[in-house]
Structure 1
Amino acid sequence: MSITLKGTIERKAIGTGAWALVADNGETYEIYQASPKEMLKNGLKVEVKGEVREDAMSFAMIGPILEVKSFQAIDS
């Protein structure tokens, strides 16, 4: 399922650590490992376009796994 979201990038201290997008709607998505590394900055506000991966699992289990296809940093 392809989606567009706005939110904040956060580093979660779970196990070895996980990157998440906390969307403006309150939902948390775990960022998939193949996503652009340039967006992995704690506190970065972004708009992302990506795909929820139903075929992937993680140890963090903080929310649906989101493979980001593109992103743009935004002001609040």
Structure 2
Amino acid sequence: MSIHVEGTIERKGFGMGTWALVSSKETYELHKAPADLQKAGLKVKVSGQIREDVMTIAMIGPVLEVASFEVVN
């Protein structure tokens, strides 16, 4: 399922750590987050796919594979 989400990037300390997108409604675990997106506190708009075929150790929310993103102020 393709989605568009606006939120803040956070580093979650589960296992070896994972990057997450925290929106007002949901927390998404980022799947293979691009290096430019791996900055805690970054406010972004992200477009991507929910990956229901991917399991993770952190299990903090739906797994989101990023197709594109833009930084917002």
TM-score per shorter chain, which class? over 0.9
Alignment of 1:6-25 (within 5 A): 6-23=6-23, 25=24
TM-score by length of 2: 0.95
Deviations 1:17-61 (A, max 9, x none): 0100001x230000001x322111000000000000011000000
Query: In 2, Cα distance between the equivalents of 1:63 and 1:20?
Result: 9
Q: Distance in 1 between matches of 2:14 and 2:27?
A: 14
- Which whole-Å CA distance do the structure 1 matches of 2:30 and 2:20 have between them? 5
1:30 aligns with 2:26: no
SS state at 2:36 partner: helix
Tell me the C-alpha RMSD between the 2 structures: 0.8
Mapping of residues 1-76 of structure 1, within 5 Å: 1-23=1-23, 25-33=24-32, 35-75=33-73
Following the alignment from structure 1 to structure 2, what is the Cα–Cα distance between the partners of residues 56 and 3?
17
